[in-house]
Amino acid sequence: MEHTPPPFFKRGPAPLVRLFFFASLSLALLVLDARFRYAEGLRSVLALAAYPLQRAATAPVDLLGAVGSYFSTQAQLFEENAALRAKNLALAQAAQRYETAEAEAAQLRRLIGAAEKLDVKATPAEILYAGRDPYSHKVFINLGAQQGVKPGSPVADEAGVVGQVTRVHPLVSEVTLVTDQDHAVPIQVVRNGLRAIAFGGGPSGMLELRFTAGNAEIQNGDRLVTSGIDGTYPAGLPVATVVRIERDAEHSFARVVCRPIAGVDRGRFVLVLSDEAARPSRPEEAQPGKERRSDKVRRARSKEKDA
């Protein structure tokens, strides 16, 4: 005779079965997300659910800042004001020089027939919080798809490049910092125009130039700016300063370590740059059919003229 437990003791499937079920569900999701990126829809729904909590978590910090600024003394303000005025003067001068240089450069560019560079649009954004993941260098900003942020937009602060928008949710977006080890920026050495690619250094918080030849002309203290040839970052944004170069005869490549110029791990405000119009689209391949038709039209028109 078979003994089945009375309904009172029934608790659904055994815990081990449940563990197996949920573990395989998690593993399937992991593979889907890591390999195929199929889970983006689910992710943005979940991120929207977590948004109020994340917003609430930053509220006490904001409040503390507000209280602190309320109690700042007049002397402090006065001092700060004077410093800012001096800085403003210096910056105004620099801006004037920049303006003339820009005009000059535009003229030269017209001369050589290069495409004119358009202004990039910069939208200020606030960093909400850093990702809780110690392995990846990511932050979340308070602009999302609703505010017109697009994946791939470069993000900078007043000093230089901070990173790039990698995921856009409805109300927030995720920015991968230049120090993330999966992140690469094409750069150029200001001093001699040498091009290279800077990869994030991961936990060290530094950048690294990989695949630079052992005899590449690069020195400590060299400033690196974006070269703009990738079509993502506008050219000329400061990225990093070279701090250490290790040349080893055993390896054909030099190891160049650079410190980011922008406040990658500090500061609360950043600019999201968008320069969709700045780059002319790739020229289309010439299509023989189309060309012929336009030829015909032209011929017909010339006939009309003759008549």
Q: Site residues (CB under 8 A) for other proteins? A: 11, 15-16, 18-19, 21-23, 25-30, 32-34, 39, 42-43, 46-47, 49-50, 53-54, 56-58, 60-61, 129-136, 138, 140, 167, 174, 181, 202-203
Element (H, E) at 177: strand 173-177
Contacts of 257 (CB under 8 A, 6+ apart): 201, 204, 206, 207, 208, 242, 243, 244, 245, 246
Nearer of residues 125 and 218 to other proteins, judged by Cβ: 125
Burial class for 223, CB neighbours closer than 10 Å (0-12, 13-18, 19+): middle
Nearer to other proteins, 137 or 262 (CB): 137
**Closest separation in Å from C-beta 11 to other proteins:** 7
Q: How far is the CB of 250 from other proteins (least distance, A)?
A: 22
Q: Is residue 76 packed enough to be buried (19+ CB in 10 Å), middle (13-18) or exposed (0-12)?
A: exposed
Strand partners, 283: none
Cβ–Cβ < 8 Å for 173, 146: no
Distances (CA, A) of 154 to 8, 130, 175, 239: 60, 17, 9, 12
Cβ at position 165, least distance to other proteins in Å: 12
Which of 52/236 has CB closer to other proteins?
52
CA-based nearest residue to 182, from 214, 230, 135, 234? 135
Q: Rounded to whole angstroms, how far apart are CA atoms 42 and 282?
A: 34
Nearer to other proteins among residue 129 and residue 253 (C-beta): 129
Alpha-carbon span 263 to 69, nearest angstrom = 22
Helix (H) and strand (E) counts for the chain?
4, 12
Nearer Cβ to other proteins, position 13 or 214? 13
Shortest approach of other proteins to residue 33 CB, angstroms?
4
Among residues 33 and 197, whose Cβ is nearest to other proteins? 33
Residue with tokens 């490049």: 161
CB of 122 to other proteins, least distance (A): 23
Least spacing, CB of residue 281 vs other proteins, in Å: 31
Tell me whether residue 259 or residue 268 sits nearer to other proteins (CB atom).
268
Contact 168, 150 (CB under 8 A): yes
Least separation in angstroms between CB 133 and other proteins: 5
